[in-house]
Chain A
């Protein structure tokens, strides 16, 4: 077992460990700037007596950019730069401003069997972790008046925190039932079997804190990988049971106008098991994933290149490119789950597990998951004492200057049943990067004050829990071509710096 790499992530099967180092971001993976534009460092106005020409940025506004105002802006820019007219094209923002008024809101249908709630949120302390989670119905389903197909469950089982996230196949009528059965099946199995395993093998937790090269650790890690895989198979079995229970029922068959099939319940599963290692700031984590979505671990104290670790692979199936579901016939044994299992022990302070409704907005995941984290930061979903401190001690003049240089929050009318749709201002870190032509690494390492000022533009609604902020963000951030259900579960170490999660 000497092929284990120090980076702490391996694919683990039953009783053996295969090294798989490339799941870790290497410096070569991190793009400097972007593929097309040259990198230019941003000149930040710091000295008030040497004013730097900064174009006045629009104030935070509560209305979506109308086509007219955008046009004015473009014309103004054209005059300023006196550039020859470019061939006609539209920015994503132009298109989004246009489609904003076309999205309709239809509630979840009541005449179908088993309607699911529009929103689910959770804010809870689980053992030594704090979990913040939300699931929102996608614009596509709101537009068409169909159910949300995502589901998630969280548990604390003897200080192992378990996260299950599932996405029902978009084209299948009852995939939401499959998604719920998938999460519940995995949880039910682990409630019983993980407790049993820990009772039987009392040294297991200690073994997981041993040297990673030691056979004690290796064996314990293999056991954890195996139990996660078994839980995925139990989840599959539970989806099959859910199908079989409903197979004979008329109301279900009527809804699809034929007999039910197993793949009407097709759903993915991202299962994560995390345990803080006693006496260190490391976390042991085992994951198994069937289908798309992503689970990611972060260590904010690490160098930029080492900060993000992907704990899953959306295309890890035998048939790359095809979406696999728990109901696929190829998911039938522990063997078939080996390539889908990850085990890691390393310094981690945040774990995030999400359906493709979120993961696909941050492609490619290896490079862009950090942007997800920053978006959560500037929109005040994840609290950042560091940002708050920066903001608090920032020179007034400097802050005013920076406020002019960061983009204003954008608002689009919420797709909701309200007569007057709410406008929720959202900040996009991508806009900041594009505005100043800097990459995420430069932003993080050199311009944290910009991020702090950006987060300062988002108003705090005091008394709101992080989960409801997360829900609001998931429900309102806008990306062109993104209208799927969105589920995000965030696991943070609670006790690390002795700070309690502040309630906004």
Chain B
């Protein structure tokens, strides 16, 4: 009897490049702490969602494997180096391949993963980025939301990853805190509305004040 519960896998792809050092990376640390605390008080999220963090700087790596919310420990985040967003998408794909249960004849798999990308600048790994974005929209392996922070973000680049792009004016403590609060709300909402079957459009709460949805 190998039945298991269908999980909602959530991946956070976080920019840890040099430009994030100082206040922004500290805000991200605080944000994750707040996010996890918030979700730990929500029985629906606890029973369905699990969380992973992938960071990208000069290289991309999974800093926290996909973990039950109850067991999740915040990763140690440091900011330095370049912005390997293409690499992060590659790691994301490998992790989804490895960690997310597929639907088989005997068992319904996990829900389609929910992915939040946070970046404050342009990617620096063009080739990998081109390779990864070539088919990312058509594969539909995940519901991806890309959020750009600050003036150096290129909308068109983020649009190559996903149609769901949000922009915030700055990478300030205030905006980043709003971002994580919104992610928390989105995870709660998704863990509730899972009866919208896989393949259906995701429903997310309205973005916080000061955030713009890129049409």
Contact = CB atoms under 8 A, between A and B. Distances in A.
Interface of A: 31, 34-37, 88-90, 92, 94-96, 98-99, 102-103, 139-140, 143, 169-171, 292, 321-323, 356, 363-364, 367-368, 430, 433-434, 439, 479-481, 483-484
Interface string B171-215: 000000000000000000000110111111001000000000000
Given A35-B106, A90-B71, A364-B108, A480 B1 contact: no
Interface stretch (B20-28, B44-52, B152-160): B44-52
Contacts of A99: 43, 46-47
A37 B46 contact: no
Contacts of B196: 170-171, 323
9 closest A-B pairs by CB: A99-B43, A102-B43, A36-B2, A321-B199, A34-B2, A480-B5, A481-B5, A170-B195, A481-B47
Nearest to B46: A99
Contact of B70 (A36, A98, A140, A292): A98
A323 B46 contact: no
B106 to A, nearest CB: 5
Nearest to B105: A364
A90 B43 CA distance: 15
Contacts of B197: 292, 321-323
Contacts of B106: 31, 35, 364, 367
Contacts of A368: 3
A94 B6 CA distance: 16
Contact of A323 (B6, B43, B192, B195): B195
Contact of B200 (A92, A322, A356): A322
A103 B43 contact: yes
B199 A322 contact: yes
A483 B44 contact: yes
B12 to A, nearest CB: 21
B1 A34 contact: yes
B99 interface: no
Contacts of B42: 102
A102 B192 CA distance: 15
B128 interface: no
Interface string B1-42: 111111100000000000000000000000000000000011
Given A90-B71, A95-B70, A170-B193, A140 B44 contact: yes
Contacts of A479: 5
Given A95-B46, A170-B192, 17 more contacts: A31-B106, A34-B2, A34-B3, A35-B104, A35-B106, A95-B47, A139-B43, A170-B193, A170-B196, A321-B197, A322-B197, A323-B197, A356-B195, A364-B106, A368-B3, A483-B43, A484-B195
A267 to B, nearest CB: 13
A98 B44 CA distance: 12
Contacts of B47: 95-96, 99, 480-481, 483
B68 A90 contact: yes
A143 B44 contact: yes
Nearest to B193: A171
A35 B107 contact: yes
Contacts of B48: 481
Given A95-B46, A98-B70, A363 B107 contact: yes
A99 B5 CA distance: 15
A102 B193 contact: no
B65 to A, nearest CB: 10
B2 A37 contact: yes
Nearest to A430: B1
A103 to B, nearest CB: 5
Contact of A321 (B68, B70, B193, B198): B198
A35 B5 CA distance: 15
B111 to A, nearest CB: 10
Nearest to A478: B47
Nearest to B200: A322
A41 to B, nearest CB: 15
B43 A143 contact: yes
Contacts of A170: 192-193, 195-196
Nearest to A363: B108
Nearest to B197: A323
Contact of A92 (B5, B105, B108): B5
Contacts of B1: 34, 37, 430, 433-434, 439
A98 B68 contact: no
Nearest to A94: B70
Contacts of B41: 102
Given A31-B106, A322-B197, A430-B1, A88 B44 contact: no
A95 B2 contact: no
Nearest to B6: A481
A96 B47 CA distance: 7
Contacts of A484: 195
B203 A323 contact: no
A432 to B, nearest CB: 10
A371 to B, nearest CB: 9
Contacts of A363: 3, 107-108
Contacts of A169: 195
B52 to A, nearest CB: 15
Contacts of B70: 90, 94-95, 98
Contacts of A321: 197-199
7 contacts: A94-B70, A102-B42, A143-B43, A170-B193, A171-B195, A322-B197, A439-B1
Contact of A364 (B68, B107, B195): B107
Interface string B55-75: 000000000000010110000
Nearest to B7: A481
Contacts of B199: 321-322
A317 to B, nearest CB: 11
A143 B203 CA distance: 20
Nearest to A483: B44
A92 B203 CA distance: 27
Contact of B3 (A143, A356, A430): A430
A237 B55 CA distance: 53
A439 B3 CA distance: 12
A323 B44 contact: no
A102 B46 contact: yes
A94 B47 CA distance: 10
A169 to B, nearest CB: 8
Contacts of A90: 68, 70-71
B81 to A, nearest CB: 30
Contact of B203 (A88, A171, A483): A171
